Amino acid sequence: MTASLESAFTEHRPVDSCRSLLISGVNWLGDSVMSATSIQALKRSRPDLAVTVLVKSGLIPLWQMHPDVESVIELRETLPGALMTASKLRSRKFDSSLVFPHSFRSALIPFLAGIPERIGLSGHHRDWMLTSVVRIDERTRRRHQAFEYLDMAGMNAVERLEPPRFVVPDDIAAGCRERLAVSLKDRAGAPIVGIVPGAAYGPSKRWPADRFSEVGQRLLARDSCAIIVLGGGRDKPVCAETAAGIGPTAADFSGTTTIQEFAGMLSMCSVVVANDSGGMHLAAAMGAKVVALFGITDPEITGPIGEGHRVITGEAVERGRELPRDSERAARAMNSIVPEKVFEAVHDLLHKQ
């Protein structure tokens, strides 16, 4: 059934009657963090609602840290894996499903599972698999991406974004504290500045490593702080270059942390400097103040959620969501951000705490 935006939410709001809700989660870390606001709004509206998230294996530990998620199911790869996943979901007898990703496959699995109500965005030749097709209006498209997930969840009356909320398990947090104490023993007790120089999307979102290093050098020269460099396995080269440029006092943890340990490390930072990336969103969710660096992507749409963050943008360019992974125009915009401006933002945030 195809429905207008209004009728989709008056006739098929999952919070109105369902008790068991499946959310097909998005695949990127940053998008996942932004989507958490909708789950929190749903649970605030319906505390008795049981929420399960379906995601690829790499994101399972993230959702296991969210207090409003009752269970997490692995989304298996390949067509046989999709059929196995659908069979598992069928046995759980969910009342409704919210399909956050835009892909054909993400709608196929709840359809094959026979979930009675299936809500998702129009497009990708999948409307026939959805019982309620959502068409986001232009006002929402111009707002923060988190509002899209809220609208799909029927929470389109929400006007203020609640920061995403994740809780690091106690044993993971204790392990992070121990590792930091060993690596930063010469600066024990100093506020920690995290530097996240990677961006999984690609070079179009990355500020050069030597610029991050320059900011780190200035911070060590003028502020009593400790510096850690964080990132995933694919970020190890840029993180190593960044840490080497800062000097031996910078502790490089890239490629050595699980996603829960990554979150734990970020939660112990006073300030985090990051590109427009999943690390930026996770840092903000974990309570750090973020200095976020944007080239031609739009911080009004994908900026960090919450109060007190600083966004630094490149020279005036036309901004939007569509971005090639490797764009000369985007690289020029990122390169136009000067280290002095980033340093000043971090310095100011450190001295406000």
With cut-offs at 50, 70 and 90, classify the pLDDT of residue 1: very low
**pLDDT at residue number 316:** 60
Q: What Å distances lie between residue 207 and 43, 157, 213, 246, 275, CA to CA? A: 37, 37, 11, 15, 7
Q: What does the alpha-carbon distance between residue 305 and residue 290 come to, in Å, rounded to a whole number?
A: 10
Placement of tokens 């006073």 in the chain = 270
Question: Could you give the angle at which helices 209-222 and 339-351 cross, rounded to 10 degrees?
Answer: 40
Q: Is the pLDDT of residue 103 over 50?
A: yes
Interval 310-326 mean pLDDT: 72
Interval 192-205 mean pLDDT: 88
**pLDDT at residue number 325:** 62
Q: What does the alpha-carbon distance between residue 140 and residue 15 come to, in Å, rounded to a whole number?
A: 21
Q: Is the pLDDT of residue 75 over 70?
A: yes
Contact 205, 172 (CB under 8 A): no
**What ranges do the domains of the chain cover?**
5-152, 171-351
Q: What is the pLDDT of residues 230-250, one digit of tens each?
A: 999 999 999 999 999 999 999
Q: Is the pLDDT of residue 6 over 60?
A: no
The domain over range 171-351 is classified in CATH as 3.40.50.2000: yes
DSSP H helical segments within the chain, as ranges?
5-11, 14-17, 29-45, 60-63, 79-92, 104-112, 138-141, 146-152, 170-183, 209-222, 236-246, 259-267, 278-285, 299-302, 328-335, 339-351
Q: Is the pLDDT of residue 9 over 50?
A: no
**pLDDT at residue number 11:** 40
**pLDDT at residue number 8:** 38
Contact 52, 70 (CB under 8 A): yes
Q: Do domains 5-152 and 171-351 have the same CATH topology?
A: yes
The CATH number given to 5-152 is 3.40.50.2000
Q: Is the pLDDT of residue 318 over 70?
A: no
* Phi–psi pair at 195, nearest 5 degrees: -120, 125
Q: Is 300 helix (H, G, I), strand (E, B) or coil?
A: helix
- Of 66, 68, 272, 263, the closest CA to residue 172 belongs to 263
- This model's pTM is above 0.85: yes
Q: How far is CA 60 from the centre of its chain?
A: 13
- Of 297, 213, 336, 333, the closest CA to residue 31 belongs to 297
* Phi–psi pair at 133, nearest 5 degrees: -100, 120
**pLDDT at residue number 296:** 86
For the chain, give the longest Cα–Cα distance: 63
**pLDDT at residue number 330:** 79
Q: What is the pLDDT of residues 27-54, one digit of tens each?
A: 999 999 999 999 999 999 999 999 999 9
With cut-offs at 50, 70 and 90, classify the pLDDT of residue 319: low
**pLDDT at residue number 243:** 98
